[in-house]
Chain A
Amino acid sequence: MSKARGLADLGNAFDDGALSNRNLIINGAMQVAQRGTSFSGLTSGYTLDRWATYQTTAFLNQQQDADAPDGFNGSLKTTVATASTPSAGDLSRVVYNVEAQDVARLGYGTADAQTTTLSFWVKSSVTGNYTIFVYVNDPNRSIVKGYSINAANTWEYKTITISGDTAGSGINNDNGNGISFEWNLLAGSTYNTAGAQDTWVTGGGTRASGQTANCGASGATWQITGVQLEVGDTATPFEHPRSYGDMLALCQRYYCEISDSLLMVNFVVDNNFGIRRGSTLFPQQMRASPTATGSISNGTLFLTPYADGLQLSQTGASSTSTPNITNLTFDAEL
């Protein structure tokens, strides 16, 4: 992109309301990976922070990969671990869910519904036509958008403009699921035959209509990074966070981990009940009360998570034993 073109696009972004904090996608550069950097055998669940995979069969491995276009340090890479010819009902996709109150201002369900533009870098060993299923949860509305990969194993920059949906009941201004963006990698005939692209419909529609490419061959790869969603009909240069810490903090609204050493400081004996009790605050207020996991070396661990922090207690251990609490995770993803 030329400097003149970039400045012109930023001018358009100013007209649309923002020169900074334009990107509605968190961790679009795939920097933050609190859960780990490599995932296999995962049918459905979150991988890199804020990014999920939903598969009918777990044939894709996923990883944070150093390979990226200029200006980026990493990407989310999927690799087919087991060759798959999709049956009719098979569907595999990489998913990003935007919190509703972050997109409620788009005015969906009104005559003034705003246009948005999704831009990203993508690279795949499989060329052809791919689809992105855009689903708006509250009004149960959807649209399918297409893009093509023209050259194998080459980073390509894509921009997709999405007209605002003037029908339906709009997006609630709350902490629920606002808009889901699902990059389809493999779709059976149930999903990719009938239907149309570029038209808002009620319900899920045919969520991969027009997809001809299938990442199903053993070893096939698909990568993405530099994902940006912004208001307006023009893609502007990717807005990097000021720092890794800034991006980590945004991610911790949805997922975080706490070290056992920190918790031990707060873990005190409650002689009245014959137990140990403790509490701690999360690094960020989470989107909702999170699901908690954790284990303890002796006795039984009880976790009571809230959006702001955690209460925990230990029962069934001797008064002299020192508990070792490990693997504490807190998940408030959409």
Chain B
Amino acid sequence: MYDMNITAAQYTTDFEGNNTGIKATIDGTEMTVPLDPANRHYAEIMRQVNAGQITIAEAD
């Protein structure tokens, strides 16, 4: 694992308003990250959130 450069993170939702993923810019590329702890991008986002390095914005 390495420190990913995460410059933006915002939840995405389904039509019922439930969070389904996180749209994030990681190492310069916009990605849709699922809320799966086994996904390495999600794990790194949450690590950086817990370390106070980034926050995840609510969905529009």
Interface string of A144-176 (1 = CB under 8 A from B): 000000000000000000000000000000111
Q: Is the CB of A291 within 8 A of B39?
A: yes
B39 touches A303 (CB 8 A): no
When the two chains form their complex, are residues B29 and A293 in contact, meaning their CB atoms are under 8 A apart?
Answer: yes
How far is A304 from B35 in the complex, measured between Cα atoms in Å? 10
Say yes or no: is A247 at the interface (Cβ < 8 Å to chain B): no
Q: Which residues of B contact A331 (CB under 8 A)?
A: 41
Chain A contacts with B in 24-54, Cβ cutoff 8 A: 43-45, 54
Check if B31 sits within 8 Å of A334, measured CB to CB: no
Q: How many residues of A are counted as interface, with CB atoms below 8 angstroms from the partner's CB atoms? A: 26
- Which of A175, A292, A302, A306 is within 8 Å of B38, CB to CB? A175
The B interface is mostly helix, strand or loop, or mixed, namely mixed
Pick the contact of A176: B12, B14, B29, B38 (CB < 8 A): B38
Do A44 and B34 have beta carbons less than 8 Å apart? no
CB of A333 within 8 A of chain B? yes
The answer to the question of B30 belonging to the interface, with a C-beta cut-off of 8 Å to chain A, is yes
Q: Contact mask A78-97 → B, CB, 8 Å, 1/0?
A: 00000000000000000000
B32 in the interface (beta carbon within 8 A) = yes
A44 pairs with B27, CB closer than 8 A: yes
Name which of A4-12, A188-196, A216-224, A282-290 contacts chain B: A282-290
- Fill in one digit per residue for B6-43: 1 if any A CB lies within 8 Å of its CB, else 0: 00000010110000110000010111111110111110
B39 (CB) vs chain A CBs: closest residue: A288
Provide the residues of chain A in CB contact with B12, threshold 8 Å: 302, 304
Selected A-B contacts with CB under 8 Å, 10 pairs? A43-B2, A175-B38, A177-B1, A273-B15, A289-B39, A291-B42, A293-B31, A304-B14, A331-B41, A333-B40
